[in-house]
A and B are shown apart, each in its own frame.
Chain A
Amino acid sequence: MSVLSPETRHEIERQRERYPQARSAILPSLWALQHQLGFLSPEGMAEVAGLLALTPSEVEAVASFYSMYFDRPGGRHHLLVCINVSCALRGAEEIVAHLEDRLGCPSGATTADGEFTWEHTVECLGACGGAPAMQVDHHFQENLTPERVDAILDAVRAAPAPDQLGSRPGGGRRPGAHGASE
């Protein structure tokens, strides 16, 4: 029984054809897998390896290097809050404390209702001009205040699950107009 959906398999085959060497398609293939499952399962990675003519351990070694791949299932939505210098200077700590309070779980955990997995990161997100900032399902949310965070959480909760993120049309929004709440 295959883990990969026909769409995911097709996407991996398409990615494989784009590069002079099939191995270069590992990262985009893992993205496709994660977009389907929400995380990278060992069975899924083994199938990716098969499609790229690699061993499962080669694929797993690559996957474990990169911080955006998840090795376990998480909530329906993912929040990533920057706490590097530029965000810290403009109130990231207050945002982190507010999220922890509002969601009732610490960084790295998933809410009891399975809606949100959230974490803070020292990896600068590249949104320092709109600090403090976070990403909600890969979309930037900037100039955060506790009130704005509340509004974003409510809007995201009401929105459909962010499946097929890798191929969803309509990306590339302008600065200041990112995210599910707009």
Chain B
Amino acid sequence: MPIAEGVLLLSLAGVLTRLVRGPSHGDRLLAYNSAANRVFVLLAVIGTFSDRPAFLSVSVVYAALSFLGVVILARFTERGGGHR
């Protein structure tokens, strides 16, 4: 059933548009967080519908690492970031 994957890819494209042309740091961070969420749910959907359990493990690791990356980038931006 490729409709769910198609809808998730469409919303991923919309969020990546905001990632490219976001005016501030917060826009880019939130777009990156939303894109990472859509990517790991897309991995879970593909792994469930085509019976590949390895995709689910990859999805768990991707979710944990993207959470860590977004929190670290937000703290880095909060303390002055690269322009100081």
Specify whether A and B are partners.
Answer: no
- Residues on B facing A (Cβ under 8 Å): none
